[in-house]
Structures are given as structure tokens and as C-alpha cells.
Structure 1
Amino acid sequence: MFEIRNLSRHFGTKVAVDDVSFSIPEGQMVGVIGRSGAGKSTLLRMINRLADPTAGSIRYGDVEIVSLKGEALRRWRRDCAMIFQQFNLVPRLDVLTNVLLGRLNHRSTALSVMNLFSRDERIMAIAALERLGIEQTVLQAAGTLSGGQQQRVAIARALMQEPRVILADEPIASLDPLNAKVVMDALADINRRDGITVITNLHTLDTARAYCQRILGMAEGRVVFDGPPAELTAEVVRRIYGAEDDFDERMTSTSITPQWVPAPETVPGLAMQAAAAM
């Protein structure tokens, strides 16, 4: 379980996250909503320790995340995978190599420097791409893919870390509705099938309602709502977004609905054929 207690982050005189406290049981899918600048991205970056808190505590089980350093911090970043809006792929490298980069925190420094990946790791990478329906791109340069395909490659890379937690920072903000649906379906499938905790920042209320078991609403660095989608009333939405009475949440709509059909099995077919050819 995550235990966030009195967490704050200041940038000079600006308070990005202000005395935030909540807990998240293992295996939950949580959506974090709010206006731009509400503190959503800073919150996720502190959980992954890409940003250090000014004050407060982040506990995962018995581990105090805020105090981690060196190898212990490296292990946490392996266990707590991060997916970014900008994909953060290496455009000139092929898709397979980009996915394999998710194994770096499982390997020795020497092997990482030499970029040596095992046959089993290659099978695992192709299986992750099959699961996400983009195995046909395996040898393409990542920079030649569409935005939706690149985000699925980023999710496959995160799966290679074998994480306990996935943090997704606006994963569909730059995608069209169809690709947004594919990406959110993939995250929901990972949450349900693998039991991985997923915490995702979202701008769109309909997406948060459709996919998340629980929603955190942030405004001016504070959590002003914490509950299931059914309790996200029009009054609560106006409080989160600081809107007037005429606020229409359809303005944030992506018009996507979840696909609850389980994804195909991860390994058969292409994974074994590719392995035989290596």
C-alpha cells in the first residue's frame, strides 16, 4: 500500500503540492484530475523520486521512499515505472531496443554499457509488444511510428521493468480519441490482469470515470476530492476546476469508452518464432 502523508513541494515561493495525504491499496487504478498547474505531474514525479519533496512522507509497504539513495533508489525506480506524455523513446533506435531498455535496472552496469540483452529478454520484449498489438513494428525506428504506437512502445518498455506500480503522466494528452482508447484499454488490462497499481494523470473526466476505480481531484496543489467516479458530481467537478455554474464537463470529453475484452495471451506465436531465429 502507498501511504502519502503531508507531502509538499515548493519551487521558491510557489507551492506546487501542498500538504497532500492519501493512501492507495495495492492493485487499484487511480485517476488524478485537475486543471493544468494543479500539481498532478509534480505529485507523480515525487512518488517516482524524479523530484524530491520539500516535506512529507511517501511509504510503500515498509519502505520510506523519500529517504532512498543509490542502489535502493534505483530499485524503486525499477519497481515504480513511469510513462510520460512525450513517450521518451530514442527515435533512431528500433522498437525492440527501446523496449529492451526497460531491463537496464535489472542488469549489471557492465552489461548495460555493452548493451547486451539475452535471448530470454528479447522473447520477453516481443511478447510485450504482442500483448499491445504492435509486434509488427519490432524492427522499425521508434521515430517513424504514430503517437499512439509510440505510447504503446513506452508501455511495453514499462512492462519490461516488471514493476509493482505504473505511474502514467498524461498518457493520452497528445493522442486522438481512437489511440487514447487503445492506450487506456492497455493500462486497464495491465491493472486487472497483472494486479499492478496504476496511477494516471488525466485531463478528461469521461476517461477517468470510465477507467478508474478511484479519482483524486487536485486544485492549487491540494487534494479536494477523493472517491469513486459515482461521487464525482457536477458540484465537485466545479470545485476541482474552479469553474462557474455554467461549466460543462463535455468540454473535456474524448468520447471514448473502455474495451473490456482481455488482451491476447502474451507469448505464443511471434515470440517463439523470433526466438528461434536469434
Structure 2
Amino acid sequence: MLKIRDVTRRFGANTAVDNVALEIPNGQMVGVIGRSGAGKSTLLRMINRLIDPTEGSIIFEETEVSALSGPALRRWQRDCAMIFQQFNLVPRLDVLTNVLLGRLNHRSTSLNLLGMFSREERAQAIASLERLGIAQASLQPAGTLSGGQQQRVAIARALMQQPKMILADEPIASLDPMNAKVVMDSLQDINLRDGITVVTNLHTLDTARAYCSRIIGMAAGKVVFDGAPEDLTREAVHMVYGADPDGDEISEAITSTSIAASRPRKSAPSLTPAFAST
């Protein structure tokens, strides 16, 4: 169980995350939605401890993550793998080596300095690449791959950490619909087959509905919706996204990355009229 207790993060006078309280059981696949600047990325970065909360605490399996430092913090960042929108690969290194870098927090400093990986680690890396359907590119420089391929390499690297949780910060934001589907299918497979908790920030409602068993909506740093996909009604969408500059409700069609929805259509999909409060 991940427990986020009254967490706030301020940057000067700006409050990016405002008194957020959540509990995420092990094994859930959670989508966090909201406008840009709603606090989604800041929340994930605090969970991974890339940045610290200004107030509040983050607890995982009775360990106060927000108080960790030194080797204990590095172990947490090993157990809580992070996938980024921009992949964060080393472009000049081959794909296999990029995936093997996921083992760094499992190894001694001397082995890391020598850059030596065991036969078992290499076999594990190849297996991870095969699982993601990208093993044929294992000897290519990572920078020569397409965006969708690079994101799959990043997921394979995260698997090498043998994590208890995966955080994905806008993992499909820069991908075309076909590659977005491949990446989301991969994250869902990891969640279902391995039982690993996945928390992913998403801009697209159709993706959140299709892949996540729980959706958390953020606006102005606060959680304004927390429920099942079927509870994400028109009123709930309005709470998360507000209105467009003309004061009209946001059309769900503009938040879609699905192949079908990318073609012109006569009208936006209808939403359930009743709002289920949480």
C-alpha cells in the first residue's frame, strides 16, 4: 500500500500540489489525469523522491519514503521505477546496454565503474526486450530508434530494476496512436501479469478509461476526482478540465489518441449524465 498523507509541494509562491491524500493498494493500475500544470508530474516526482514534499508524508509498506536518504533512498528509487516522456536513454549506447543500466542500484560501485555485467544480467535484459517486442534492435544505438521503440526500451530498463511500483510520467504524450497503444498494452501487461502497481499520468481520457481500473483527476494541485472509469461523468470531466476559453465544456474528442477518434467524426462521444461523487 502506498499512502500519501496530506502532501503539499510549493515552488516559491506557487503551490504545485496542494494537500493531497491518497491510498493506492498494491497491484492497481491508476491513471492520473488533468490539465498541464495540474500537479500530476510533481506528484509522481515526489513519490519517486526526485523532489521532496514541502509538507506531509509518503509511506510505502510502513516505510516513510519521504524521510529516506543515502542508500535507503537509492533502494527506494530502485523499487519505484520511473518512466519519462522523453525516455531518458543514453543515445550513443546500444539498446542492450541502456536496458542493463536498470541493474545499477542492484550492484556494487566497483562493478558499476568497470561496466561489467554478468551473463545472467545480459540474458535478463534480452528477455525484457523480447517481452517488449524490441529484441531485434538490441545492438543498435538507442538514439537511432523511433520514439515508440525508445519508450519500450525505457520500460524494459524499468523491468530490470525488478520494481514493486512503476511510475510513468506522460509515457505516450509524444507518440503516435499506434505506438501509444503498444506502450500502454505493455504497461497493462506488466500490471496484470506481474502484479506490479502502475501509476501513470495521462492527458487522454479514452486511454485512462481503457487501461486503468482507477482514475485520479487533478486540478490546480488538488485531487478533484478519484474513482472508477465508469464514474468519470461529464460533471467529473468538467471538474478536472474546466471549460475552454469560450466558456464551453471541454469536448472529450480533443483528449483522444485512439486511431478511430483521430479521424473526423460527427460528434463527440456522449458521457453518462449523472455524477457519482467520491
Q: CA RMSD in A?
A: 0.9
Count of residue correspondences: 257
Find the counterpart in structure 2 of residue 252 from structure 1: 255
Question: What are the within-5 Å matches in structure 2 for residues 16-165 of structure 1?
Answer: 16-165=16-165
Q: Distance in 2 between matches of 1:155 and 1:12?
A: 34
Find the counterpart in structure 2 of residue 271 from structure 1: none
Q: Distance in 2 between matches of 1:204 and 1:222?
A: 19
Deviation for aligned residue 1:256: 5.2
TM-score w.r.t. structure 2 length?
A: 0.91
Ranges in structure 2 where 5+ consecutive residues have no aligned partner: 261-278
Assess if the C-alpha contact under 8 Å between 2:238 and 2:249 holds in 1. Answer: no
Find the counterpart in structure 1 of residue 224 from structure 2: 224
Kindly report structure 1 stretches of 4+ aligned residues shifted beyond 6 Å.
none
Q: Deviations over 1:149-196 (max 9, x none)?
A: 000000000000000000000000000000000000000000000000
Q: Distance in 2 between matches of 1:85 and 1:201?
A: 10
Assess if the C-alpha contact under 8 Å between 2:98 and 2:142 holds in 1. Answer: yes
Identity fraction in percent: 74
Q: Distance in 1 between matches of 2:120 and 2:165?
A: 23
| One-letter amino acid of the structure 1 residue matched with residue 102 of structure 2 | G
Assess if the C-alpha contact under 8 Å between 2:242 and 2:250 holds in 1. Answer: no
Q: Deviations over 1:36-55 (max 9, x none)?
A: 00000000000000000000
Q: Distance in 2 between matches of 1:250 and 1:113?
A: 50
Assess if the C-alpha contact under 8 Å between 1:181 and 1:256 holds in 2. Answer: no
Ranges in structure 1 where 5+ consecutive residues have no aligned partner: 258-278
TM-score w.r.t. structure 1 length?
A: 0.91
Q: Distance in 2 between matches of 1:13 and 1:114?
A: 45
Assess if the C-alpha contact under 8 Å between 1:16 and 1:42 holds in 2. Answer: yes
Q: Distance in 2 between matches of 1:80 and 1:255?
A: 29
Q: Deviations over 1:28-73 (max 9, x none)?
A: 0000000000000000000000000000010001100010000000
